[in-house]
Amino acid sequence: MFGKPSELKNFFSVKSVAVFGASRNARKVGHIILRNFVDSKFKGKIYPVNLKAKVILRQKCVKSLFEVNEEVDMAVIAIPARFVPDALEQCGKKGTRFVIIVSGGFAEIGNFELDSRIREITEKYKIQVIGPNCLGIFDAYTDFDTLFFPRYRLGRPDEGGISFISQSGAVGAAVIDLASREGYGFSKFISYGNALNVDETDLLEYLGSDKNTKVICMYIEGIKDGRRFMKVAEKVVKKKPVVVLKAGTTKASAKAVSSHTGSLAGSPEVYSAAFHQSGVIEATCLEDLFNFARTLESQPAPKGKRVQIITNGGGYGILSADACMKYGLELAQMKAETIEEIKKQVPDYAVVSNPLDLIGDADTQRYKIAIEGAMNDSNVDMIFVIILYQSPLVTPDIVDVITEAYDEMKKPIVAISTGGDFTEVHSTALQANGVTTFTYVKNAARALKMLFEHYRKR
């Protein structure tokens, strides 16, 4: 990369942008990108580059950047690969040093000659490139958006603390769409594709100093410079957690990686060892990547791995106990005085142990008593709250009870609920208040074990 990774902030502080490939055809990628700039109410100047059209989406077009009398901070290139060198030449001569190349058709399909041509141009003019063969970037705080998926098809997350670096545009798009639907906030999303001269390590170093980023998530298929990545990662993890999902861990998938972004997958054992040595948290599936990130963003550091399970369904309590033990957590043993205090306030048929079964007729007040007891007991490090909303006595103010406990930030507390629309409404409300929620106990146990291990190593 030319310059310092800190200069990558220029991709997110843009006052003017050119869109190569802007089209009147609503099905074209360039049209969608331009529309997203317009719909997001981008406050800067937009220059659609089109050889034939005069106006697209009420934006005056130019045939080339040389028609623009002012500086152009950044360009998004979404045109057939064979025309990309000419667009880059325009950018270089114009002084536009930050470019996103959405277009594919380079090293990932074996077109190394064309790849070499655009590399030479970027070196000549010192142009920093995200891509080619990528989605580009999205900033939830500024709403700067180069993604070529329409907003009605792909949700954009609200402001939050997770930043996601993804070598695959499709994987990244799926994750941010899911985050948007489930109410989890993002800071930045960066799809970097073939990594012509801005790679995963540059982006990691940049986000390590980004004030809006609390947790860094990465989906990678290969790392260009392993030693540099480890060196940068060791520094970044001292400031904020880094969670990585490495793809291409089998011979068959490694071949697919090479044809996807032109990367070499490498030995999974070597990558795992490097991640462990650097303090990076490795996820083994996409589900864990998402769950780990949102848990790290919202939960405080646990003092230990002793979990108190609170439930209104005995079967779910047993499943939770099994999951905790399977993933290396321990069942907490509350103090005798805590147990006695809870017993005084709940029916004598409730099982005040671990799991703490409030029984199927539990109401919100019963949950409040149990949660406060566990929260104030020094023998409890983390709390599982299982809520079966199907129970008629659990009222919507259970959301307030759990949120108040979470807001105290004494210890991690997560909510687990499985069900249909009624359950989803309440889980979404909890998520909007910052509480980490899960549908299945297995995922909650894995996330809390990761949380414990992460802070234990620091």
Q: How confident is the model at residue 78 (pLDDT cuts 50, 70, 90)?
A: very high
Q: How confident is the model at residue 247 (pLDDT cuts 50, 70, 90)?
A: confident
Residue 217 has pLDDT above 70, yes or no: yes
Can you give the pLDDT at residue 255?
52
Q: How confident is the model at residue 154 (pLDDT cuts 50, 70, 90)?
A: confident
Look at residues 285, 260, 270 and name the one whose alpha carbon lies nearest to residue 229: 270
Q: How confident is the model at residue 266 (pLDDT cuts 50, 70, 90)?
A: low
Segment 94-117 mean pLDDT: 95
- pLDDT tens sequence across 414-434: 999 998 988 888 898 898 888
Q: Which of 98-102, 241-245, 424-428 has the lowest mean pLDDT?
A: 424-428
Domains, the chain, in order of start with CATH, read 5-296 (3.40.50.261), 300-457 (3.40.50.261)
3-state secondary structure the chain: CCCCHHHHHHHCCCCEEEEECCCCCCCCHHHHHHHHHHHCCCCCEEEEECCCCCEECCEECECCHHHCCCCCCEEEECCCHHHHHHHHHHHHHHCCCEEEECCCCCHHHCCHHHHHHHHHHHHHHCCEEECCCCCEEEECCCCEECCCCCCCCCCCCCEEEEEEEECCHHHHHHHHHHHHHHCCCEEEEEECCCCCCCCHHHHHHHHHCCCCCCEEEEEECCCCCHHHHHHHHHHHCCCCCEEEEECCCCHHHHHHHHHHHCCCCCCHHHHHHHHHHHCCEEECCHHHHHHHHHHHHHCCCCCCCEEEEEECCHHHHHHHHHHHHHCCCEECCCCHHHHHHHHHHCCCCCECCCCEECCCCCCHHHHHHHHHHHHCCCCCCEEEEECCCCCCCCCCCHHHHHHHHHHCCCCCEEEECCCCHHHHHHHHHHHHCCCCEECCHHHHHHHHHHHHHHHHHC
Can you give the pLDDT at residue 252?
45
- pLDDT tens sequence across 300-356: 999 999 999 999 999 999 999 999 999 999 999 999 999 999 999 999 999 999 999
The amino acid at 448: L
Can you give the pLDDT at residue 179?
85
Segment 127-135 mean pLDDT: 95
Can you give the pLDDT at residue 249?
59
- pLDDT tens sequence across 270-309: 899 999 999 999 999 988 999 999 999 999 999 999 999 9
Can you give the pLDDT at residue 8?
93
Q: How confident is the model at residue 180 (pLDDT cuts 50, 70, 90)?
A: confident
- pLDDT tens sequence across 363-403: 999 999 999 999 999 999 999 999 998 888 888 899 999 99
Can you give the pLDDT at residue 2?
63
Kindly report the average pLDDT of the chain as a whole number. Answer: 91
Measured distance between the N- and C-terminal CA atoms of the chain, rounded to whole angstroms: 31
